[in-house]
Chains A and B, each alone.
Chain A
């Protein structure tokens, strides 16, 4: 079945450091891939998405490229800020059912 695996956290970085959060997936068909962010005490917000192979999603300085050959969708940001501290979820959307399958989430803490 479909599944998503994220790198375990927490990830602790200093402000302006480079961020990578790894995400790999297993899926049949042609899923869409998403990154959601959850700030403390809030719901999930869509950060970016990609709907087909080689697509790059980007938003707020974050980027992720849909790599079919490596079944990956790693999240990157060149220079993190304290305000980026949150939990990041990688998710796979089934092209057949639309159901989202989430990874376990990665907590990012950025220190000044």
Chain B
């Protein structure tokens, strides 16, 4: 049974470039979460979706960040333009139900030069 799939696993880009991170949740899960992990701030929830609809995006740091979920099996997190302070590990997680156990993907390690 496949877990949460994220791509790419590593991304190195230059400041000002657009970055797109991808996530495929576990089949049948109705909630999808995007997190960011940094040494300074730990794990932060950025946004989450229910049945493809964004429910809470209060954790999105600024307008440069956007997330979409066009269907139940795919979500993207986009940063445009990227900045060095966006360097972090970005995790996607999915769950069945609002308070169901969240299962995490392996993460995308982003480095913005």
Contacts and interface: CB of A to CB of B under 8 A. Distances in A.
Interface of A: 32, 34, 36, 42-46, 49, 89, 93, 95, 97-100, 102-105
A93 B99 contact: yes
B82 interface: no
Interface of B: 4, 31, 33, 42-43, 45, 48, 56, 91, 93, 95, 97-107
A98 B101 contact: no
Nearest to B48: A99
Given A32-B99, A43-B91, A44-B104, A98 B42 contact: no
Given A43-B91, A105-B42, A100 B98 contact: no
A105 B31 CA distance: 24
Nearest to B97: A98
A43 B104 contact: yes
Contact of B43 (A32, A34, A46, A89): A89
Contacts of B100: 98
A24 B104 CA distance: 23
A43 B93 CA distance: 9
A105 B105 CA distance: 18
Nearest to A99: B45
Given A46-B101, A97-B98, A105-B42, 5 more contacts: A34-B101, A43-B107, A89-B43, A99-B56, A100-B33
Nearest to A46: B101
Contacts of B43: 44, 89, 102, 105
Contacts of A102: 42-43
Contact of A98 (B4, B99, B103, B107): B99
Contacts of B106: 42-43
Nearest to A98: B98
A67 to B, nearest CB: 20
A34 B43 CA distance: 14
Contacts of A99: 45, 48, 56
